[in-house]
Copies of this chain bind each other. A is one copy, B any other.
Amino acid sequence: MKNNKITSLFEIEYPLIQAGMIWTSGWKLASAVSNAGGLGIIGAGSMYPEVLKEHLQKCKKATHKPFGVNVPLLYPDIEEIMKIIVEEEVKIVFTSAGNPKTWTKFLQEKGIKVAHVVSSVKFALKSEEAGVDAIVAEGFEAGGHNGREETTTMTLIPMIKQKTTLPIIAAGGIATGRGMLAAMVLGADAVQIGTRFVMTPEASCHQNFKNTIKEIPDDGTLSTLKEVVPTRLIKNKFFEEVMTHYANNGKREELIELIGRARPKKGMFEGDIEEGELQIGQIGGLIDEIKPAKEVVEEIITDFEKAKQEMANFSF
A: residues with CB less than 8 A from B are 1, 3-4, 7, 13-15, 120-122, 139-141, 149-156, 158-160, 162, 172-174, 176, 178-179, 181-187, 217-219, 222-223, 249, 281-283, 285-286, 301, 305, 307-308, 311-312, 314-316
Nearest residue in B to A153 (C-beta to C-beta)? Answer: B154
Q: Complex: how many Å from CA A182 to CA B182? A: 4
Please tell me if the beta carbons of B154 and A218 are within 8 angstroms of each other in the complex.
no
- A314 interface neighbour in B186, B281, B308, Cβ under 8 Å: B308
Do the beta carbons of B162 and A139 come within 8 Å of each other?
Answer: no
Whether B311 lies near A155 (C-beta < 8 A) is: no
With a cutoff of 8 Å between Cβ atoms, the chain B residues found around residue A285 in the complex are: 121, 155, 159
Contact A282 B152 (CB under 8 A): yes
Tell me whether A311 and B308 are in contact in the complex, defined as CB-CB below 8 angstroms, given that A154-B172, A186-B178 are known contacts. yes
Nearest CB to that of A309 among chain B residues?
B312
> Measured between alpha carbons, how far is A139 from B7 in the docked complex, in Å?
31
Collect the chain B residues with CB atoms within 8 Å of residue A162's CB: 286
Q: Is the CB–CB distance between A154 and B182 below 8 Å?
A: yes
A187: chain B residues at CB < 8 Å are: 178
A312 lies within 8 A of B308 (CB): yes
Additional A-B contact list (16), CB under 8 Å, known A139-B154, A141-B151:
A3-B315, A122-B219, A149-B218, A152-B172, A153-B154, A154-B182, A155-B173, A155-B281, A158-B176, A158-B179, A159-B285, A178-B185, A178-B186, A182-B185, A249-B249, A305-B316
Query: In the assembly, how many copies of this chain are there?
Result: 2
Kindly list the 5 A-B residue pairs having the minimum CB-CB distance in the complex, ordered from nearest: A154-B173, A149-B219, A182-B182, A152-B152, A159-B218
A239 to chain B, nearest CB (A): 14
Q: Given A249-B249, A311-B185 in contact, is the A174-B154 Cβ separation under 8 Å?
A: yes
* A316–B13 touching, CB < 8 Å: yes
Measured CA separation A249–B247 after assembly (Å): 10
* Complex interface: chain B residues within 8 A of A223 (CB): 150
Q: Which partner residue on chain B sits nearest A232 by CB separation?
A: B150
- Interface-central residue, A120, A187, A283, by most chain B CB under 10 Å: A283
A174 to B, closest residue via Cβ:
B154
A161 to chain B, nearest CB (A): 9
Nearest B-chain residue to A176, judged by Cβ:
B158
Are A152 and B140 neighbours in the complex by a CB distance under 8 Å? yes
Contacts of A219 in B (CB 8 A): 120-122, 149, 151
Q: Judging by beta carbons under 8 Å apart, are A282 and B314 in contact? A: no
Report whether B174 and A181 are in contact in the complex, using a CB–CB cutoff of 8 Å.
no
Q: Which residues of B contact A305 (CB under 8 A)?
A: 316
Cα(A153)–Cα(B14), bound, Å: 25
Q: List 18 A-B contacts (CB under 8 A).
A: A1-B315, A7-B316, A120-B218, A122-B217, A140-B150, A141-B155, A150-B222, A151-B282, A152-B282, A155-B285, A158-B176, A158-B179, A158-B286, A159-B218, A162-B286, A178-B186, A311-B311, A312-B312
Whether B218 and A151, one on each chain, are in contact in the complex, defined by CB atoms closer than 8 angstroms, is yes
A3 vs B314: C-alpha distance in the bound complex, in angstroms?
9
